[in-house]
């Protein structure tokens, strides 16, 4: 079994990869003319750490039964996951520019049907954690070493379904389950705490029997450390509250809820890419 | 009329689940705090490691079922029809059907026959909801042998399915010769065809027997396999008998009657009448009296049959 210590990706390398993914997010949503750049940029470092470091997955054997699973419950952050999977070798990065086009495998929300490298089709919020719980139960029943990682959005924490599923993960003491909250603080219409507050969120996870830590979701050393700790947690699932910045990496998108579901126009995309060291 | 013995569809389900569990060690069963009523407890007792009673969280039962199934298992999930198809609808839509997860939803307590619990719990819209989901198989067995056959049938393919069962025991009308996509002909006739499902099948046979005593021969089809539907049998019935009566314990706007009307109307139009629950919610009461009060009495169905026969010119 390869573990995090054996991974070749260093925090610096992960940062470089994340920068490439952020450029893709801008290009993809610009070309598509729609999509969700804000929440894709906030989750990029978490997705990068998982796909390029933590997950035991193999692009040569995508259906390997013992692989780890990643469920992106906030399925609208599709551009981040698509870009990561493409650069990890699951499909040709040239396809990335077909996001949201008719006939493209890159659906607006992550899609297992059209892109099998995606473990679960999600999009309607609140359902991904339950699917992850089912996958973790399946692995335990089958005595497979697979671990299951689920990325949750913070607006999604307002959904009752999320808490049902979290309750089940805690009840079944799924220590092969890691729930990561992309806590960027914003949702479509504004701040989560103005709309329907979810704090104190870490205490809520603890009350649901999760071994819970709070980290800077843009610090690779902190992300890797939290994921590493999760591997040695027994008898409880893990929750990681990752404090992030919506629109991270593009100055004029940072902490602006307006960029939840709006693509950049040409001028904005060029400016964003200049900041990220890329071009259209 | 023959005296039929009545049997529990739910017992047939629970016993068949145990059979499947014996046969296939990968099968997993979920319930949402109704395992005694749905009879999944029978499986849970024998295979506690493969049984998850998740409590009152029906939508999440479906999302968990999907996650379990995507690893290659056959997963059964049971609760009452109002929760399975209603409360959990979007979880069934996205997590189960959109993901093409191998989840078999067996819902008990469909229809008015729930009785005392009242209109909140009498699910009369589930066939519409489940049939409209792409890739979903839908079965409404009329008796215990068909229930057993249907459960075995849905376990034998990879993909989602919904089975609607009834709380009340129902007369044993068939020998369990059920196949997906095939209507079962229980009575031959050439003057009229009655297409029925669930608890209405016995009443359909009652109508046919009464008509027989007046020299009218009605064909009776058990249409348990709602989806895939046996359109050929419907078109054959239209061609050979010239008139069709449908009978269902479901909102008449969106169930079997509309399915049959659509198939016949586009394939071989003939006079057609639909016996079903008017566009209403139910209420508390004796289960069988409820059927009578909500337009599903044998007498009303017989009147509809005579009306069709008049249109056909079979009677004046």
Condensed to tens digits (0 to 9), the pLDDT of residues B7-65 reads 999 999 999 999 999 999 999 999 999 999 999 999 999 999 999 999 999 999 999 99
Question: What is the distance in angstroms between the Cα of B196 and the nearest Cα belonging to chain A?
Answer: 36
Interface residue of B67, B88, B94, B99 to substitute, partner A, most A CBs within 10 Å: B67
Question: What is the distance in angstroms between the Cα of B309 and the nearest Cα belonging to chain A?
Answer: 49
CATH of the domain at B252: 3.40.50.920
Q: Are residues B155 and B12 in the same domain?
A: yes
Split at pLDDT 50, 70, 90, the class of B314 is: confident
Q: Are residues B156 and B213 in the same domain?
A: no
What does the pLDDT read at residue B2?
Answer: 63
Q: How confident is the model over A53-74, as pLDDT tens digits? A: 999 999 999 999 999 999 999 9
Interface residue of A127, A133, A168 to substitute, partner B, most B CBs within 10 Å: A127
Summarize the confidence of residues B109-120 as an average pLDDT.
97
Chain B residues within an 8 Å CB radius of A138: 67-68, 70-71, 73
Considering only the beta carbons, identify the residue of A65, A71, A161 that sits closest to B59: A161
What does the pLDDT read at residue B3?
Answer: 77
Q: Is the pLDDT of residue B69 over 70?
A: yes
Summarize the confidence of residues B76-105 as an average pLDDT.
98
Q: What percent of chain A has pLDDT over 70?
A: 97
For residue B135, is it within any domain?
yes
Q: Which residues of A39-50 are buried (b: 16+ CB within 10 A; e: fewer)?
A: bbbbbbbbbbbb
State how beta strands B225-227 and B218-222 pair: unpaired
For residue B121, is it within any domain?
yes
Q: Which of B145, B171, B197 is the last residue of a domain?
A: B171
CA-nearest of B76, B78, B73, B70 to B95 is: B70
Interface residue of A108, A110, A131 to substitute, partner B, most B CBs within 10 Å: A131
Split at pLDDT 50, 70, 90, the class of A21 is: very high
Mean pLDDT across chain A:
96
For residue B255, is it within any domain?
yes
Biggest CA–CA distance in chain A, Å, is: 53
What letter would DSSP give residue B121?
T
What does the pLDDT read at residue B1?
Answer: 53
Q: What percent of chain B has pLDDT over 90?
A: 97
For residue B179, is it within any domain?
no
Residue B18 to residues A84, A133, B23, B172, Cα–Cα distance (Å)? 44, 24, 9, 21
Q: Are residues B35 and B160 in the same domain?
A: yes
C-alpha to C-alpha distance for B229 and B183, rounded to whole angstroms: 8
Expressed as residue numbers, the domain containing B38 is 6-171
Q: Are residues B38 and B135 in the same domain?
A: yes
Q: Are residues B228 and B253 in the same domain?
A: yes
B64:A131 CB<8 A: yes
Q: Map tokens 């991974």 to a residue.
A: A7
Q: Are residues B128 and B190 in the same domain?
A: no
For residue B95, is it within any domain?
yes
CATH of the domain at B128: 3.40.50.970
Q: Is the pLDDT of residue A143 over 70?
A: yes
Q: Is the pLDDT of residue A3 over 60?
A: no
Q: What percent of chain B has pLDDT over 70?
A: 99
Q: Is the pLDDT of residue B299 over 50?
A: yes
Q: Are residues B78 and B139 in the same domain?
A: yes
Chain A residues within an 8 Å CB radius of B52: 137, 172
Q: Are residues B161 and B191 in the same domain?
A: no
Q: How confident is the model over A163-183, as pLDDT tens digits? A: 999 999 999 999 999 999 999
Q: Are residues B153 and B232 in the same domain?
A: no
Chain A residues within an 8 Å CB radius of B100: 113
Split at pLDDT 50, 70, 90, the class of B294 is: very high
Can you tell me the ipTM of this complex? 0.93
What does the pLDDT read at residue A9?
Answer: 87
User: Cα-Cα-Cα-Cα dihedral of A66, A70, A71, A72, to 10°?
Assistant: -170
Q: Are residues B142 and B38 in the same domain?
A: yes
For residue B279, is it within any domain?
yes
Length of chain A in residues, anyone? 280
CA-nearest of B163, B43, B178, B174 to B109 is: B163
Considering only the beta carbons, identify the residue of A65, A131, A139 that sits closest to B95: A131
- If you count residue pairs, one on A and one on B, with CB atoms under 8 Å apart, how many are there? 96
Split at pLDDT 50, 70, 90, the class of A7 is: low
CA angle B241, B243, B244 (to 5 degrees): 110
Q: Are residues B135 and B207 in the same domain?
A: no
Q: How confident is the model over B176-194, as pLDDT tens digits? A: 999 999 999 999 999 999 9
Split at pLDDT 50, 70, 90, the class of B169 is: very high
What does the pLDDT read at residue A5?
Answer: 39
For this structure, is B304 an active site residue?
no
Considering only the beta carbons, identify the residue of A135, A142, A168 that sits closest to B60: A168
What does the pLDDT read at residue A1?
Answer: 38
Which 3 state secondary structure label does DSSP give B230? coil
Q: Are residues B49 and B167 in the same domain?
A: yes
Summarize the confidence of residues B121-125 as an average pLDDT.
98
Q: Is the pLDDT of residue A275 over 80?
A: yes
Question: Domains in chain A, start-ordered, CATH in brackets?
Answer: 9-275 (3.40.50.970)
For residue B178, is it within any domain?
no
For residue B176, is it within any domain?
no
Total domains in the fold of chain B? 2
Among the listed residues B58, B125, B168, B298, the single catalytic one is: B58
Summarize the confidence of residues B236-251 as an average pLDDT.
98
């Amino acid at each position: 079994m390869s573990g995090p210590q054996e991974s070749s990706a260093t925090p610096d390398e992960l940062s470089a990869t994340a920068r490439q993914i952020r450029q893709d997010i801008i290009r993809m949503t610009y070309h598509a003319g729609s999509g969700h750049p804000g929440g894709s940029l906030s989750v990029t470092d978490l997705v990068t750490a998982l796909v390029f470091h933590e997950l035991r997955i193999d692009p040569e054997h995508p259906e390997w039964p013992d692989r780890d699973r990643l469920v992106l419950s906030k399925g609208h952050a599709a551009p981040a996951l698509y870009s990561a999977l493409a650069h990890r070798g699951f499909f040709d990065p040239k396809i990335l520019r077909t996001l949201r086009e008719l006939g493209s495998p890159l659906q607006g929300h992550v899609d297992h049907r059209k892109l099998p490298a995606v473990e679960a089709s999600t999009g309607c919020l609140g359902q991904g954690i339950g699917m992850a719980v089912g996958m973790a139960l399946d692995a335990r029943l089958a005595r497979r070493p697979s671990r299951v990682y689920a990325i949750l959005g913070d607006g999604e924490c307002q959904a009752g379904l999320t808490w049902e599923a979290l309750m089940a993960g805690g009840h079944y003491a799924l220590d092969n389950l890691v729930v990561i909250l992309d806590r960027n603080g914003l949702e479509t219409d504004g701040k989560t705490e103005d709309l329907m507050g979810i704090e104190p969120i870490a205490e809520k996870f603890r009350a649901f029997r999760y071994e819970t830590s709070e980290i800077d979701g843009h610090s690779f050393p902190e992300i890797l450390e939290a994921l590493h700790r999760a591997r040695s947690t027994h008898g409880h699932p893990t929750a990681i509250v990752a404090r992030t910045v919506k629109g991270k990496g593009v100055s004029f998108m940072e902490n602006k809820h307006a960029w939840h579901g709006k693509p950049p126009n040409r001028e904005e995309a060029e400016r964003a890419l200049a900041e990220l060291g890329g071009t259209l | 009329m023959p005296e039929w013995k009545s049997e529990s569809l739910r017992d047939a389900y629970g016993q068949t689940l145990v059979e499947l569990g014996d046969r296939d060690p990968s099968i997993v069963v979920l319930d949402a705090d109704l395992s005694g009523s749905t009879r999944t407890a029978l499986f849970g007792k024998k295979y506690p490691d493969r049984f998850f009673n998740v409590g009152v969280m029906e939508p999440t039962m479906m999302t968990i079922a999907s996650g379990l199934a995507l690893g290659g298992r056959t997963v059964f999930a049971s609760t009452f029809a109002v929760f399975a198809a209603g409360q959990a609808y979007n979880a069934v839509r996205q997590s189960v059907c959109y993901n093409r997860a191998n989840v078999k939803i067996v819902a008990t307590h469909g229809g008015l026959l729930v009785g005392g619990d009242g209109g909140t719990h009498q699910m009369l819209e589930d066939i519409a909801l489940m049939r409209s989901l792409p890739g979903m198989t839908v079965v409404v067995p009329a008796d215990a042998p068909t229930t057993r056959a249907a459960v075995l049938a849905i376990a034998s393919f990879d993909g989602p399915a919904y089975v609607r069962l009834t709380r009340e025991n129902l007369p044993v009308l068939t020998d369990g010769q059920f196949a997906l996509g095939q209507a079962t002909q229980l009575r031959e006739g050439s003057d009229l065809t009655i297409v029925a499902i669930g608890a209405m099948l016995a009443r359909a046979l009652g109508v046919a027997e009464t008509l027989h005593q007046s020299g009218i021969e009605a064909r009776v089809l058990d249409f348990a396999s709602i989806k895939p539907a046996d359109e050929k049998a419907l078109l054959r019935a239209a061609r050979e008998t010239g008139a069709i009566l449908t009978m269902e314990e479901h909102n008449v706007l969106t169930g079997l009657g509309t399915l049959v009307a659509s198939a016949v109307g586009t394939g071989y139009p003939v006079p057609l009448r639909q016996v079903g629950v008017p566009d209403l919610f139910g209420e508390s009461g004796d289960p069988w009296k409820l059927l009578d009060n909500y337009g599903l009495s044998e007498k009303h169905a017989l009147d509809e049959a005579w009306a069709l026969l008049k249109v056909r010119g079979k009677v004046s």
